[in-house]
Structure 1
Amino acid sequence: MTMMTRLLTLLALVLTLPFAPRPALAQAGGSFAPVVTVNGMGVTDYEISQRQRFMELLNSAGTTRKDAEEALIQDRLRIWAGKQIGLQIDDQGVQKGMEEFAGRANMSAEEFTKALTQNGVDPNTFRDFVKAGVVWREVVRARFGPRVNISKADIDRAMRPESQTGKGVRVLISEAIIPAPPGREGEAMAAARQLSAARGEGAFAALARQYSATPSAGRGGRLDWMPIEKLPPQLRGQILGLKPGTATQPISLKGAVAVFMLRAIGDGAPSSGPTDLSYMTFALGQSGSEQARRLAARVARDVRSCNQLYTVAKGMPASALVSHEQVAQSQIPAVDGLALAHLDPGESEVMPRGGQDVLVMLCDRQVASGPDSTPPGRDQVRAALENKALEGFAKGYLADLEAEAVIVRK
């Protein structure tokens, strides 16, 4: 995975840590004179340009100049709130925050900063972006932490099995999986950004027919209703965070880029908990090749169980057909998990993987009985509930700060 590709995997996180960048690279363009003041703190044209470029690189939902200016105004308010309570964050605290943020893309802070610099973003932009986020987190905890009281009953309720608290959640989504063979990753990401920006099912469907390489492309990427727990765990939060008719940011997979649109969400059958999956992957050959088409057609015609794949693969290298026995769903690569999510045992789907076609067949799906089925402890549940409560306070407090601020545009 290239450094830039890993950088783009942070696209869904950019709104979680606000920043307040300062000028350093004059060649990036923009004036250093303040064009907006927020409670006496200036925001320069250069900073707005840098913020906009930063958001574009991370493929944030809002990337216009107006979006960048508004984000910087809110950052100034976060810093201002910290000053009001005498909060100071030292260099060590900022560095720790930078490492944590970059680590979400399996990068060091140095690697992440280098990738930004190579794409025209001032290194100080990232540092101050993180600093403002760290300041805000401490402000919110100091101001509202004492008001968050998670009771024993709250924890008990959160830990109660889903089958006892009501029905589970099911989702109606559309998918687009775009091949990203070596040397063409940029083209795949550009197409994925178009899908992410689509508003409404019709616009997404038209682009899915054009770019997606999965069997669902002919249906505009539309999938049937499915329980949310069938999706790969790393994707569930992104799907549930959408409003119907909107799409996720591009999701980098092995040899492909994926985008999903939420069409509807509703109640479903009670969840049975974490699952273990047994499945097989069959490397068919180069995408679009006669061999790949022939093998896929033969599987569709003759194969109804995983064991029958051995007959089709006879004479091919042993590495072409791989059996995966009782793998915890959380450990399955997302590119395989996406196909398995809407398959029943004995069904298969061909997925693009770089320049190759790989057939994925589900053999069995069972309720997990190993460590993956262990529920989170009470301390983990308490921390999650506290964070959720603080997020609610933080949104309201920021809105109040902006309403009361003295903001002057020059």
Structure 2
Amino acid sequence: MSEMIFTTLTKAARTLSLMAAVTLGAQAATAQNMFAPVARIDSMVVTEFEVQQRQRFLQLLNAPGSDRDSVVEGLIDDRLRNRAATDVGLELTEEGTQSGLSEFAARANLTTEEFTKALEQSGVARETFRDYVTTSLIWRELIRARYLNSVNITEAEIDRAMGASSGGSGLRVLVSEIIIPAPPPQAARVNALAGQISQSTSEAEFSSYARKYSATASRGAGGRLPWTPLSKLPPSLQPLLLALAPGEVTSPLPIPNAVALFQLRAIEETGTPTQSYSAIEYAAYFIPGGRSEAALAEAARVQGKVDVCDDLYGIAKGQPAEVLVRETKKPGELPKDYAIELSKLDPGETSTALTRANGQNLVLLMLCKRTAEANAETDRDAVLSALRQQKLQGYSTQLLQQLRAEARIIYK
């Protein structure tokens, strides 16, 4: 009997040992596959682990470009960017790195450590986050160090961008817009999404994003706005648009509880003098419920009852005074998001694209009137900065294309 028990235990032990060996072998094979090369760039490699980590990171941010092919190409570009910086002895200080990480995490109203822990809980290593941010920072420093002294902006270029040449003839622009709501809990995801959208190079791609993500009335038209005099647009936006070539997109512009992007489709000289404005009068009526169906329905009801700003007093009668704000401000003093929306309106027209109170209140924004001004001043320094940034971006694209052309890239 004892011999039979011993034999049975021995067989069981052997079976368990075999199972353990098979399991460990499978785990080892999986680990080995995770770190197998997916692509070789000269003597550098991109591993399966990095691809899966970058994909997971972008997916958590709900950012476009998280498909496998895009991630592989992005990691190849990162290898080339980092090597170019190393070749010239360029390194980030730890202080600069921590500042960049902190700035990125702050978009989600989190500290670096809080943001990192949240990523780790979702399976993303802190090194993945750090690499993503530091590569962007070191590349920006490289481009500035390499090309900034070569960027010469002439007075004629500034004049042309400001529409000051040709006897003061005015300019008008065709622009497409995207405004994405970004309440604090969604800020990091929306900022990552906006960063991806800003890389759009075609009208069709930008319009597709607008239909999917934008909160403006123009989303049904793919974000496309009609011809607009440049002078009607917010002063802070004018030089940014003038620095773009048709098809290019502004960097993400943070506005209260949202992020805005604009694509320049066309620009032309009108042959008529530029009309400037000294003051903008507007009214803002706040509706509880944010962008809920009930709040939007109430906004539609109010829009059907008002033709001028004075009509809003009747709508707000009996409610707390703070539900209706009516102000007159210089164009440069307007809240950036109000300025953007008001630039699309004629007196008596309204917009419901914006929110306040962290998205809890829907804003019914109405333009009361614009006061014309002759010879309004434009900030030449802002135009200079925008033109310089445009040229640096061009150098960045050219250098990366050159690095890819010179490298031997092999896909596994």
TM-score interval, normalised by the smaller of the two chains: 0.5 to 0.7
Partners of 2:115 and 2:285 in 1: how far apart? Answer: 35
C-alpha distance after superposition, 1:5-51 (max 9, x if no partner): xxxxxxxxxxxxxxxxxxxxxx9997123332222122111111122
1:276-287 paired onto structure 2 within 5 Å = 276-284=279-287, 286=289
Structure having the higher Rg:
2
1:1-400 paired onto structure 2 within 5 Å = 31-102=34-105, 108-146=111-149, 148=150, 150=152, 154-155=154-155, 157-159=157-159, 161-164=162-165, 167-173=170-176, 200=204, 204=208, 223-228=225-230, 230-231=232-233, 237=240, 264-267=265-268, 269=270, 271-272=274-275, 276-284=279-287, 286=289, 288-289=293-294, 297=301, 300-301=304-305, 303-326=306-329, 328-329=331-332, 331-334=334-337, 336-351=338-353, 353=355, 354=359, 357-366=362-371, 375-377=379-381, 384-400=386-402
Query: Secondary structure at the residue paired with 2:363?
Result: strand
Partners of 1:140 and 1:219 in 2: how far apart? Answer: 37
Partners of 2:411 and 2:103 in 1: how far apart? Answer: 34
Partners of 1:251 and 1:141 in 2: how far apart? Answer: 21
Partners of 1:133 and 1:351 in 2: how far apart? Answer: 32
Which AA in structure 1 matches 2:401? A
Which AA in structure 2 matches 1:345? P
Partners of 1:389 and 1:248 in 2: how far apart? Answer: 13
C-alpha distance after superposition, 1:322-353 (max 9, x if no partner): 1122154564252x445423211222234474
CA apart distance, 1:169: 3.6
Deviates more, 1:199-208 or 1:89-98: 199-208
Tell me: CA distance 1:59–1:110, structure 2 relative to 1, closer, same or farther (3 Å).
same
Name the counterpart of 1:12. none
Deviates more, 1:291-300 or 1:275-284: 291-300
Partners of 2:77 and 2:344 in 1: how far apart? Answer: 41
TM-score between the two structures when normalised by the length of structure 1: 0.67
Contact kept in structure 2, 1:285 and 1:292, CA below 8 Å: no
Query: Secondary structure at the residue paired with 1:306?
Result: coil
Contact kept in structure 2, 1:103 and 1:109, CA below 8 Å: yes
Which AA in structure 2 matches 1:300? G
Partners of 2:46 and 2:205 in 1: how far apart? Answer: 38
C-alpha distance after superposition, 1:277-325 (max 9, x if no partner): 2211123455555x98578546534x43323322332222212211122
Number of aligned residues? 363
RMSD: 4.9
Which AA in structure 2 matches 1:63? S
Partners of 1:283 and 1:218 in 2: how far apart? Answer: 24
Tell me: CA distance 1:403–1:327, structure 2 relative to 1, closer, same or farther (3 Å).
same
Partners of 2:127 and 2:92 in 1: how far apart? Answer: 16
Tell me: CA distance 1:44–1:252, structure 2 relative to 1, closer, same or farther (3 Å).
same
Which AA in structure 2 matches 1:362? L
Which AA in structure 2 matches 1:83? T
Contact kept in structure 1, 2:55 and 2:71, CA below 8 Å: yes
CA apart distance, 1:162: 1.6
CA apart distance, 1:74: 1.3
CA apart distance, 1:158: 1.0
C-alpha distance after superposition, 1:140-176 (max 9, x if no partner): 3444455x1526xx04541564242554242254768
CA apart distance, 1:260: 7.4
TM-score between the two structures when normalised by the length of structure 2: 0.66
CA apart distance, 1:70: 1.0
Which AA in structure 2 matches 1:403? A
Tell me: CA distance 1:159–1:274, structure 2 relative to 1, closer, same or farther (3 Å).
farther
Which AA in structure 2 matches 1:408? I
Query: Secondary structure at the residue paired with 2:165?
Result: helix
C-alpha distance after superposition, 1:339-378 (max 9, x if no partner): 4232112222344744655322111223689xx956144x
Which AA in structure 1 matches 2:44? M
Partners of 1:284 and 1:206 in 2: how far apart? Answer: 25
CA apart distance, 1:271: 4.8
Contact kept in structure 2, 1:168 and 1:268, CA below 8 Å: yes
Tell me: CA distance 1:305–1:97, structure 2 relative to 1, closer, same or farther (3 Å).
same
